[in-house]
Structure formats: C-alpha cells, structure tokens
Structure 1
Amino acid sequence: MKKLHRSEEFHRQPAIIAGLSLILMTLAAFFSYGYAHSTLVIHENADKTYDLLQSSLSLFHLEIAGWVVIILTDLIVSWAFYKVLKPFHSFYAILAGLLRLFYTIILAAAVFRLWMVSQVIQSDSGSASQVMVDILSFEKTWSLGLIVFGFHLIMVGMAASKAGFIPKLLNGLLILAGVSYLLIHSMYHALPEYETLTATMENILSLPMMIGELGFGMWLLVKGMKVKFSTRPSYSGAS
C-alpha cells in the first residue's frame, strides 16, 4: 500500500478522542497500579497483604474502579486508533484494533480476579494465601495480555509509518515500546529463572515503554486540535 503524505487524510475527532483517552488511562494506571496496588500488595507477605486490604478496602475498591476506567478507555482507543490509521494502511489498522480489543478482554479477565479478592475480603471467608493466589493470578494474566499489547503497538507504529506527516521518531518509539512489552513479558513467562534479569531490563526499558504510546497520544491530541482550529472559518473580513 502506498504511503500517504497528505495530512487531509487525518481524522481529527478520533485523534482527539484517542489522545484524551490515553491521558485519562495513564492517570488511572498511575493511581491503580503505581500507587494503590503497590501500596496494598506485599508479595513476600500474604498475611500483611490481607491485613492491608482489610484495613484499606476503600482504596482497593478505588483501584478496581481505576482498572475499569482503563478497560473502558482501552475500548475507546481501539476504535479511535483504527479510525485514525485506516486511511494510511487498512490492514495494519484493523489488526491493531483487534489486537487491542483482545488485550482488553484479557485485562478484564484479570481485573475480575481483583473483584473476587474484594468479595473474599468483605465476607472474611478466605485465607491470606488464597487472596495472594488471586492477586498473583491477576498479575500473571495481565502480563500475558501485555504480550498481545506489544504486538498491538508494533502494528500501530507500522501503520503510522505509512503516513508521511507523522514524525518518524513517534513511529520508532511505538515500535520500540511494542518490542519492549513483547520481550519483557515473554521472558517473565518463558524464562522465570531469569526474573531478576528481566526486571532489570524492564526498569531500563520502562521509559520507552511508557512514552511510546503516550507520546503518540499527545501528538494526536495536539494535531487534532490544530486541524480543528485551522479549519475553523474566519469572519475577520465580514461587515
């Protein structure tokens, strides 16, 4: 398929929606995983984790609510990316959308495990070890989903590269982020004996993993707003 250089092919509204959704998703992820989950879950101590969940159940429920926000915004981004990228390469756009949809389904299945944990905590009907099993199941399922997410980002980067006006740096960052997700989470599952090495690699690659998609989302938002204002009719000459 021929590379398109005409920015007239750019769909403004889906771009703005994608950008805003990705910003909201990032904020929700920082709260749910970066703050709440890391505060409440002590992997080396199941009893301590159980006590923290019992004493901070409201925070745990807010974490789950944040994951629901992430799931909903993922669905929106699946559609928005497809609409934005379709004019430049329809096959890559469709594949990227389907992969993200598949990832979102996996994430929803993972988050369901957290909901099960909340039910156990509220009813005080389970053991600390079982609660930890469910939490680890959430993390493992989500990690499997992030392998699919890596493929998704690679497809997004390839589709974006077909549009000549999208900066090559963004395309490269998207593909780098996708390869990083794919490599890191494949290693976690296929090579558990190298978990320490994998964690070190994840720390090194965390920046490109984060800014790849978020940077593209910010660019879409700014580009969409510029197109919006540049196409607004001018009345400066009206009498």
Structure 2
Amino acid sequence: MTTDALIPHATGRADDPQVRRRAARVAGIGYLAIFVLAIFANFVVRGSLVHPGDAVATAADVAASESLFRAGLAAFVVVFLVDVPIAWALYVLFRPAGRDRSLLAAWFRIVYTLMLGVAAVFMFLGLQLVTGGPGSGTMGPEAGMLMFEAFDYAWLVGLVAFGVHLVLLGRLITASGLAPTWLGWALVVAGVAYGLDTMAVTLLPDYAAIADVMLLVVALPSVVAELSFTAWLLVTGWRRPRVAAETA
C-alpha cells in the first residue's frame, strides 16, 4: 500500500466518503501507534526510572539504564511526529461538520504536539545532566531532576490544549452525528478531565494529597473515550461502502 493510498488529499470534497475513510484509517493507525509508544515511554521507561523527590535514586537508575531511557525518549519523539498526521486526518474526517470548527480542533491538537516536543527537550537535558554528558559541568542529579519536573509540567500544559481539542471534537460529533453521540460526550468528559488535572497541579500547593484521585479522574474517562474512538476510526476506515456492498 502506498503512502498516497493512506493519506487523504486536502483537495478532495469534504463529504467524499472515500476521502473520509482514508482519513479515518490514518487517524486510527496513528492512534494505535501512539497508544503503544506512549505506554512504553511513560510507564515502562519514565515511570520505572524517574523517582519524584529522589534525585539521587533517579540519577543512578537512569545512568544504569541509559539505553532504555533513550529508547523511551525516542518513543516520545515518534509520538510527537505521529500526532501531526493524526491532527490533519481528524480535520479532514470531521470537516463536513464545520470546516472552521474542525480546523480549530486540529490547531489545538497541534499546540499539544508542540508542547510534547518541548517536554522531550527537557527530558533529553535531564539525561545529559544525570549522566554527566556534554555541557553538564558541575551540575548533578538535582539539576537533572529539575529538568524531569520541567518535562512533567510542559506535558501538562500541552494536555490542557489536548483537552480542548477533545472537547471541540466531541462537540463536533454530538452536533453532526458523524459518529455515535455517546462517543462525542465521552470525548468531552475526557477533555474536561485533562484540563482539571492541569489546573489542580497548577493551583494546589499540596497536589500530591489528591494525586491518586486525580489519576483515576483522568485515566478512566480518557482510556474509555480514546480507545473507543480508536476502534470507531478503524471500523470506519475499513468499512465497505454500502453501495459497493449492495452491488456485490
């Protein structure tokens, strides 16, 4: 299958079913890719090697598993790249529901993607500092830990934009009927949860006291909504056209 066969052409009609199916395939495949990559980078790598509040242990674990840490960083970079065609494909897919609103939703996803790229830079700088790489000078584990914390907050800032993207996307769905209405509302709830979490981190001095609750508040709706959305994208992308099926 060639790249042209997968990527929808921007010049196609907004209501062309073939163009929309191609867009759904691009977005669905992209979502599958980022699910796998993000789980590996965030939970397998970062979650096991970076220990909040313990700079010495973090530096020791990162230095001892530098190859694994770099693999996680590379996974974040690939997610950064894959999110761009996803944003484009979702714009094409939901353009019939309103070109300007679909474009706005895509722009908010691009803002999130840019912040993920910034966060990856902080993650790389932290690696350099805790492993004594070029430019680290006399700075040590504490400076590296600060960079890992900067990664966390840069990503959280990006997730606010991602939350707005999900809310806009959900409202496009509920208003247009291009996808199941329940799926649209699920995306809205997930988007609001992302925003609430970032605001809680920003405004509450003792966020750690409610961190476990907020993890549940964010994880439950986001996993349900985004996995369901991925499944819908893949089914829509490979569903046979009704006319062709009836003719056969």
**Shared fold, TM over 0.5:** yes
Residue number among 41, 44, 50 corresponding to 1:41 in the alignment: 50
Residue number among 165, 182, 195 corresponding to 1:182 in the alignment: 195
Q: Residue 231 of structure 1: CA displacement?
A: 6.0
Q: Residue 9 of structure 1: CA displacement?
A: 8.8
For 1:60-79, what aligned pairs fall within 5 Å after superposition? 60-79=69-88
Whether 1:202 aligns to 2:215 is yes
When the two chains are superposed, the root-mean-square deviation of aligned CA atoms in Å is: 2.3
| Percent identity between the two aligned chains | 28
Q: Deviations over 1:189-239 (max 9, x none)?
A: 1223344225413224411112222321220111110146x5658997xxx
Q: Deviations over 1:61-120 (max 9, x none)?
A: 001011011101111111011001111122220110000111111110111011112333
Residue number among 121, 127, 145 corresponding to 2:158 in the alignment: 145
- What residue is the counterpart of 2:9 in the other structure? none
- 1:103 and 1:148 in contact (8 A); partners too: yes
For structure 2, which runs of at least 5 residues remain unmatched after alignment? 1-14
* Higher-RCO chain (CA-CA 8 Å, sequence separation at least 6): 1
- Which runs of structure 1 show a deviation greater than 4 angstroms over 4 or more consecutive aligned residues? 6-10, 230-236
Letter matched to residue 123 of structure 1: G
- What residue is the counterpart of 2:40 in the other structure? 31
For structure 1, which runs of at least 5 residues remain unmatched after alignment? 1-5
Between the aligned partners of 1:65 and 1:22, the Cα distance in structure 2 is 17
Between the aligned partners of 1:106 and 1:91, the Cα distance in structure 2 is 23
Between the aligned partners of 2:214 and 2:192, the Cα distance in structure 1 is 12
Between the aligned partners of 1:144 and 1:117, the Cα distance in structure 2 is 19
- What residue is the counterpart of 2:172 in the other structure? 159
Whether 1:132 aligns to 2:153 is no
Partner SS, residue 60 of structure 1: helix
Residue number among 118, 123, 136 corresponding to 2:127 in the alignment: 118
Whether 1:218 aligns to 2:243 is no
Between the aligned partners of 1:27 and 1:177, the Cα distance in structure 2 is 19
Partner SS, residue 11 of structure 1: helix
- 2:127 and 2:144 in contact (8 A); partners too: no
Question: How high is the TM-score relative to the length of structure 2?
Answer: 0.85
Q: State how many pairs are aligned.
A: 230
